[in-house]
Structure 1
Amino acid sequence: MYSNTQLLKTGLITKCELLPGCSNDAYLIEISDDSQNLVIKAVYKPKDGEKPLWDFPNGTLYKREYAAFLISKELGWPAIPETVIRDGPFGIGSIQLYINHDPQVTYFDLVTEEFKGLSELAIFDILVNNADRKAGH
């Protein structure tokens, strides 16, 4: 029996589709176990698909994804999906468990619903120097 982390680290990538509209290359992938009885979705962000930024060293964004996961895991908040670093179809990168969601719900909606985790999320973004938080993310 595979855990999600084991599957993210060692599972067979069986599907890889470019996600449209991303500032860097990002792919929705499917990963399966050896028997292909268990399949999970994940988001793969390869190092070689990163665009140069003035405020971060080149080729480090995938490491920042993983570091943010480790820090959130240590703190116990916010709940960032499991993330690993591994080779994928386009080289080394981060692979993060995909979480089903309603794409119509944004942070603006959460604020009006008194989303209690929003303050923690803002503090976390400052802590990890997240420069990519937007209403649609």
Structure 2
Amino acid sequence: MAAWHTAELTVIGRVTVASNVTLVCAVPTSTDTDGAPLRVVYKPVRGEQPLWDFPNGTLAGREVASYLISDALGWGVIPETILREGPYGPGMVQRWVEAVDNHTAQGNRLDLIDLVPAGAVPDGFCEVLRALDPAGNEVSLIHADDPRLRRMAVLDVLLNNADRKGGHALEGADGQVYGVDHGICLHSEHKLRTVLWGWAGSGVGQDLLDDITAFAKALPGQLADALAPHLTDTEIEALADRTQGLLDDPVMPVPRTSRPIPWPAF
């Protein structure tokens, strides 16, 4: 067990744009690779706003369940996430991701998910839709045609992620791409809302299917037991159905609802 799983958390800031209480904490007794105190994100259960369409369990529990699924697949998309006590009671605690700032440190490069003038889609990117920005200018919502991001999109299908915003995909300073904010995932009914529609209708890819096949075999055992404290039996069964459905028809889904993208998109 890592030291930060039980060590005291010291609140050093709050993410004010989050809809639920989201605190940044330092773990003084643990250090990151650069020797600085380890940082984590802490979302206490008591700070969650009730959601009528996610009445069961907690958002914190769904974040932990999402991490367990990502970890079981061997994809490492979601940073390590646990449920533990904190300064304001039990909550989700997740390792902090140090993200690249493409608009400063990298010479004003595009982010993995970004906006460009309408139709001005650069090579290596997929156009998702066109819309108007707050100033009334027509823009294209795009995302990188990047295998790291594609893997996240496939994970979102399995998780039935209802809230994959642009700001929830982080390009880490370590070169990995991470997904955060998985509190409204794993519903038994279809809820997929994402900005990662650029691969809709395309094949999943055999490398990912091999991992999904192994996951499908592992799910009914210890993994289901680990998910049970956080999800209902119906939700675990729906996860198994989505997994098998993707294996039976290994094609990325197309939007099925009138609101396939979360709002706001970032």
- What is the TM-score when the length of structure 2 is the normalising length? 0.45
Find the counterpart in structure 2 of residue 133 from structure 1.
164
Indicate whether 1:116 and 2:147 are aligned: yes
Alpha-carbon separation, structure 2, partners of 1:53 and 1:89: 24
Q: State the Cα deviation string for residues 17-67 of structure 1 (Å, max 9, x = none).
A: 221110111001101228xx8620010011111111122126510001111
Q: Which amino acid aligns with 2:19?
A: S
* Structure 1: runs of 5 or more not aligned: none
Q: Distance in 2 between matches of 1:50 and 1:58?
A: 13
For residue 66 of structure 1, what is the aligned residue in structure 2?
64
Equivalent residue of 1:77, what SS? Answer: coil
Q: Please say which structure displays the higher CA radius of gyration.
A: 2
Give the fraction of aligned pairs with identical amino acids, expressed as a percent: 39
Query: Counterparts of 1:15 and 1:133 in 2: how far apart (Å)?
Result: 26
> How many aligned positions are there?
130
Of structures 1 and 2, the one with the larger relative CO (CA 8 A, separation 6+) is: 1
RMSD over aligned CA atoms reads 2.3
Map 1:23-62 to 2 at 5 A.
23-33=19-29, 39-57=37-55, 60-62=58-60
Which shifted more, 89-98 or 126-135? 126-135
**Contact 1:42-1:95 at 8 Å conserved across structures:** yes
Q: Does 1:13 align with 2:19?
A: no
Among 92, 96, 113, the residue aligned to 1:107: 113
How does the TM-score come out when normalised to structure 1? Answer: 0.82
Tell me the distance in 1 between the aligned counterparts of 2:88 and 2:11.
13
CA distance in 1 between counterparts of 2:18 and 2:80 reads 20
